[in-house]
Amino acid sequence: MNALDEFFATHRDARSFAALYVNYLGDLLKQLDFDAVAAFVDVVLAARARGSRIFFMGNGGSAATASHFANDLAIGIHCPEKPVRAVSLTDNVATMTAIANDDGYDQVFVKQLAVLMEPGDVVAVISASGNSPSVVKAVEFAKARGNHTVALTGFATGGQVAALADTVVHVKTRPGEYGPVEDAHMVLDHLLASYLNRAIAAERRDATGSGR
């Protein structure tokens, strides 16, 4: 039984369940490895410095999170002369369905990376279980070509991608707790975007000598 099942077993009214859920999510966030979060930030900044792209991908709710990351990092950070070149591979329905239909769903990200990925680009996968074949294969493909890989994972171990990826931010829960894991991944998105927006703005002020 996971934590959410336990909450409902003892607190069936919505108000009590909501309080327990929010408190639990807070505890999960406090247990994050903040060195790993900082390492993720460094990967993004290094990719920006060399003009490389960061490809985000995931399935289901994590596909939406991949889109949100791309939006917040590429568009939400206001630095058009030197942007964070974040791209989501979950947003082209025609491409994804063509690949899934012709080659199998496990190839939906690999086939896109084969066309788009260049040396220096970063592959960032988002998966609660860490075992979805589409993201596992994407990490394997990127690593085989020498590209840096990032994994945002969940559950007990983070699955296969946590063992494969170069940089891992793991939200440790019991199996099946998709909601809290995906919530934490979205917090990471907003945390990174908030920090990077300010760090890049400060960098620009320092470069021009303004605000001193």
The CATH number of the domain holding residue 37 is 3.40.50.10490
For residue 158, the enclosing domain spans 32-206
Q: Do residues 16 and 95 both lie within one domain?
A: no
**What residue has token string 């985000």?**
56
How many domains does one find in the chain?
Answer: 2
CA distances to 48, 84, 204 from 80, rounded to whole Å, are 12, 9, 12
* pLDDT at residue 106, as a whole number: 98
Q: Do residues 178 and 133 both lie within one domain?
A: yes
Q: Phi and psi (nearest 5°) for 54?
A: -120, 115
- Three-state secondary-structure class, residue 201: helix
The verdict on residue 212 lying in a domain is no
The verdict on residue 211 lying in a domain is no
* pLDDT at residue 207, as a whole number: 80
Q: Do residues 18 and 37 both lie within one domain?
A: no
The verdict on residue 77 lying in a domain is yes
* pLDDT at residue 212, as a whole number: 47
The verdict on residue 6 lying in a domain is yes
The verdict on residue 99 lying in a domain is yes
* pLDDT at residue 206, as a whole number: 86
Q: Which residues of the chain have pLDDT under 50?
A: 212
Cβ burial, residue 152 (10 Å; 0-12/13-18/19+) = buried
Cβ burial, residue 115 (10 Å; 0-12/13-18/19+) = exposed
Q: Do residues 6 and 58 both lie within one domain?
A: no
Q: Do residues 123 and 138 both lie within one domain?
A: yes
pTM for the structure as a whole: 0.95
The verdict on residue 162 lying in a domain is yes
Q: What is the pLDDT of residues 30-78, one digit of tens each?
A: 999 999 999 999 999 999 999 999 999 999 999 999 999 999 999 999 8
Radius of gyration of the chain (CA): 18
Q: Do residues 11 and 68 both lie within one domain?
A: no
Q: Do residues 14 and 48 both lie within one domain?
A: no
The verdict on residue 177 lying in a domain is yes
Tokens of 109: 């990200």
Q: Cβ distance 117 to 91 under 8 Å? A: no
Cβ burial, residue 42 (10 Å; 0-12/13-18/19+) = exposed
Contacting residues for 68 by C-beta, under 8 A, at least 6 apart: 186, 189
Q: Do residues 163 and 101 both lie within one domain?
A: yes
Q: Do residues 117 and 15 both lie within one domain?
A: no
Tokens of 65: 């999170």
Which residues are paired to 122 by β-bridges?
54, 148
Q: Do residues 73 and 131 both lie within one domain?
A: yes
Q: Do residues 53 and 10 both lie within one domain?
A: no
* pLDDT at residue 209, as a whole number: 77
Q: Cβ distance 110 to 137 under 8 Å? A: yes
Q: Do residues 27 and 43 both lie within one domain?
A: no
